[in-house]
Amino acid sequence: DAKTTQPPSMDCAEGRAANLPCNHSTISGNEYVYWYRQIHSQGPQYIIHGLKNNETNEMASLIITEDRKSSTLILPHATLRDTAVYYCIAASISGGYQKVTFGTGTKLQVIP
Amino acid sequence: NAGVTQTPKFQVLKTGQSMTLQCAQDMNHNSMYWYRQDPGMGLRLIYYSASEGTTDKGEVPNGYNVSRLNKREFSLRLESAAPSQTSVYFCASRPQGWYEQFFGPGTRLTVL
């Protein structure tokens, strides 16, 4: 699995867009980029995933560079409830098994 | 749907004691996973089950055993608990063909 690199922490003002970067320079062609978040000590929650096209859902947008070596998760209007640790993961699915390797993530603090 | 449930929520063991952590999902998912999360760290995969009747080792399997009892249930057993196994344990499941893993609320285990 490709290793991902994220800044350890970021702050964002409430109501502003939060842009969380991730570097995955060794990602292989069959690996998707996933984002999960973990609020306090709860179980991680899936946010979004993509292969090479930009993706958007009700929670966030995912922008993947053309060379796929980096990506950015965008929370368009951050709220206090978005304060969490965000994990960027590169993973593939093989034989029914999805190996998801969590790093230490980015701790996002949304400030009132 | 209750989603992914884990029991117990909290447990304190003495070194050498054994116990089984229970995980169940009611979403008819094929694959199930056990992770551990140490303080300030990301999640690490202990064991996984790609489908009913199969189990395989993950990144940190030593000191653990698993049983995929049926499609719903995937248990994790500590035969002789050690202080190094003090951690938060998360169970997850994933439907076939999907990219998202669904996580349970976790079991907080302390080994004295």
- Tens digits of per-residue pLDDT, B32-77? 999 999 988 889 999 999 888 899 999 999 999 999 989 999 999 9
The values of phi and psi at residue B86, to 5°, are: -65, 120
Contact A98 B101 (CB under 8 A): yes
| Token pair in block for residue A38 | 């973990």
For residues A57-63, average pLDDT:
97
* C-alpha–C-alpha distance, residues B92 and A42, integer Å: 12
pLDDT at residue A101 is higher than 70:
yes
Of B96, B103, B108, the CB nearest to A44: B103
Assign A47 a pLDDT band (cuts: 50, 70, 90): very high
Return the closest-CA partner of residue A64 out of A32, A36, A17.
Answer: A32
Note the pLDDT of residue B88: 97
| Token pair in block for residue A94 | 């093989």
Give all strands (DSSP E) within A7-92, no chain letters: 9-13, 18-23, 32-38, 45-50, 55-56, 61-64, 70-75, 84-91
Of B31, B42, B101, the CB nearest to A46: B101
A10, A109 in Cβ contact below 8 A? yes
Of B43, B44, B88, the CB nearest to A41: B88
Q: Which residues of B touch A102 (CB under 8 A)?
A: 35, 42-44
Q: B76 CB near a chain A CB, below 8 Å?
A: no
* C-alpha–C-alpha distance, residues B83 and B91, integer Å: 21
Helix residue ranges per DSSP H, B25-89: none
Note the pLDDT of residue B104: 97
B38, B108 in Cβ contact below 8 A? no
Q: A86 CB near a chain B CB, below 8 Å?
A: no
Contact A96 B88 (CB under 8 A): no
Which residue, among B30, B38, B43, B44, would best test binding to A if mutated, counting the most A CBs under 10 Å from its CB? B43
Return the closest-CA partner of residue A35 out of A24, A22, A48.
Answer: A48
